């Protein structure tokens, strides 16, 4: 119980909530599209059951990812993937949701929500598993569950507000991308295959975190500049 009262635990919770909001904003769009052809009296049920199924599936995936991250070199691979995800967050490509098929049957809509969330959740899973490493010990999975339970209602119920805040304050997205770079750097530092070759002190831990954050920022800004130049050419 004491671990739940530490600053380290709540920092990790905050990271998970921010990651899920930044990377999960499309989930609200998917839910709306999947349930749009349901009768009015079934739409709330479709949203509720689809979201519940997506949460259960995501917790299972993250539990699996937390176990896999103990395998040598997988944290390194996960860190590189997080750098790429962070760069995509800062310099996003155009995305389409037209391939989300609506259903006029309740369980058909629920199945669509769950399957679409599975496809779209790989980045969330890796990022959240990396953030949960910061909590340490046996409290990682309870931390993940708590963070998801807090963030999913925010995404579903307040997606429009979140999107407006991001549009008004783009720095939130940039900071979110840099957070993923920070997590990537700290993940690499604790990879079992690299730990024996890197000094295991806080200076290196935080230094690699800062390096990861700056790498994502630099690559993201460079990609945005390149796209602007291509658009104006």
Q: What is the pLDDT of residues 45-78, one digit of tens each?
A: 777 777 777 778 878 887 887 777 778 888 888 8
| pLDDT for position 129 | 79
Number of C-beta neighbours around residue 97 at 10 A: 12
State yes or no: pLDDT of 160 exceeds 60. no
Number of C-beta neighbours around residue 44 at 10 A: 11
168, burial (CB in 10 Å: exposed 0-12, middle 13-18, buried 19+): exposed
Angle of CA points 60, 61, 63, to nearest 5°: 65
Task: Name the DSSP class of 135.
Answer: T
Number of C-beta neighbours around residue 140 at 10 A: 20
| pLDDT for position 211 | 95
Give the global pTM: 0.70
More confident residue, 78 or 25: 78
When the pLDDT of each residue in the chain is averaged and rounded to a whole number, the result is 75
Number of C-beta neighbours around residue 96 at 10 A: 6
Enumerate the domain spans of the chain: 2-232
The DSSP line for 38-88 is S-HHHHHHHHHHHHHHHHHHHHHHHHHHHHHTTSTTHHHHHHHHHHHHHHH
Six token digits for residue 155: 């995404």
């Amino acid at each position: 119980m004491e671990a739940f009262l530490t600053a380290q635990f709540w920092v990790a919770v905050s990271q998970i909530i921010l990651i899920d909001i930044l990377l999960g904003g499309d989930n609200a769009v998917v839910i709306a599209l999947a349930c749009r052809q349901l009768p009015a009296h079934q739409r709330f049920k479709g949203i509720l059951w689809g979201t519940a199924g997506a949460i259960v599936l995501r917790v299972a995936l993250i539990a699996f990812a937390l176990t896999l991250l103990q395998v040598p070199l997988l944290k390194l691979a996960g860190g590189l993937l997080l750098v790429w995800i962070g760069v995509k967050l800062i310099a996003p490509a155009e995305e389409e949701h037209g391939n989300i098929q609506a259903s006029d049957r309740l369980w058909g809509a629920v199945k669509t929500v769950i399957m679409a969330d599975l496809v779209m959740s790989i980045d969330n899973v890796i990022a959240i598993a990396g953030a949960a490493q910061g909590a340490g010990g046996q409290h990682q999975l309870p931390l993940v569950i708590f963070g998801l339970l807090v963030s999913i209602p925010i995404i579903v119920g307040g997606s429009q507000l979140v999107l407006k805040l991001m549009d008004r304050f783009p720095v939130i997205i940039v900071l979110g991308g840099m957070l993923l770079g920070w997590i990537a750097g700290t993940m690499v530092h604790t990879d079992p295959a690299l730990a024996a070759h890197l000094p295991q002190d806080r200076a290196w831990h935080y230094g690699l975190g800062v390096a990861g954050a700056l790498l994502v920022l630099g690559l993201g800004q460079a990609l945005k500049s390149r796209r602007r130049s291509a658009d104006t050419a």
